[in-house]
Amino acid sequence: MTDAVASASGTSIANRQAASAASLANSEETFLKLLTTQLKNQDPLKPLDSNEFTAQIVQMTGVEQQLLTNDLLSKLVGMSDGGLAGSVNLIGKIVSADTDKAALKDGAANWSYDLGRNAASVRYEVVNSLGATIWSKTESPVTSGEHTLSWDGKSTSGQQQAAGDIFTLKVTATGSAGETIPTTISATGAVTGVETLNGQTVVSIGKLKIPVSSVTSVQAAS
């Protein structure tokens, strides 16, 4: 099974930068074609103003330089998570992180979620790697604050899921008037490794990989 990465923030930024660079390359090629055509077809009696010509080139160069600067800044920000050397001491520790994913380990997958206010009902859904909901449960009412959910790895039909697989928790909290109440979800587990993935330092909890930047607390293993 392909390792899951709990957050796509770094990847999303990289994708946007790549798209911007590709767009710039296309725009620069188009710009040069238009400029060449303009020079070829200019009126000899009214040639292209050299100041305007220079300003257009400077503008295009400025955009390219800005993209290069953004790329450098993103790399510097990526280094701020401490890198591998600064994160190695997390191995063996129990961490909590902002993620809706958890690995099935020792017969359970564990999450925490926080309600900003009381809910008339809360529906839990566990989704597998294929996007299928394999288990669900509804509780009512549920008070505000932090709550935990421990799932035993069995589907609604009673089928035991494979140990180590990654599952996603969906929490839908509803108020007394039928409105949706926002929730935040986190997962807890023992760190088994640290690595660099897609330019980010990530910690491994079994097959689950979480960016260090998503870790919210660290505890010594009991």
Whether the pLDDT of residue 169 is over 90: the answer is: yes
Per-residue pLDDT tens for 96-141? 999 999 999 889 999 999 998 999 999 999 999 999 999 999 999 9
How is 101-132 classified by DSSP, letter by letter?
EEE-BTTBEEEEEEESS-BSEEEEEEE-TTS-
Q: Is the pTM of this model over 0.85?
A: no
Distance from the first to the final alpha carbon of the chain: 29
| pLDDT-based confidence at residue 65 (cuts at 50, 70, 90) | low
> Going edge to edge, which strands form the sheet with 215-219?
145-151, 109-115, 183-190, 94-97, 215-219
CA distance linking residue 115 with residue 144, whole number of Å: 5
Q: Which CATH architecture has domain 84-219?
A: Sandwich (2.60)
Residue ranges covered by each domain of the chain: 6-80, 84-219
Q: 111, 180 in Cβ contact below 8 A?
A: no
DSSP conformational letter for 154? B
Q: 154, 109 in Cβ contact below 8 A?
A: no
Give the bridge partners for 187, in sequence order: 97, 111
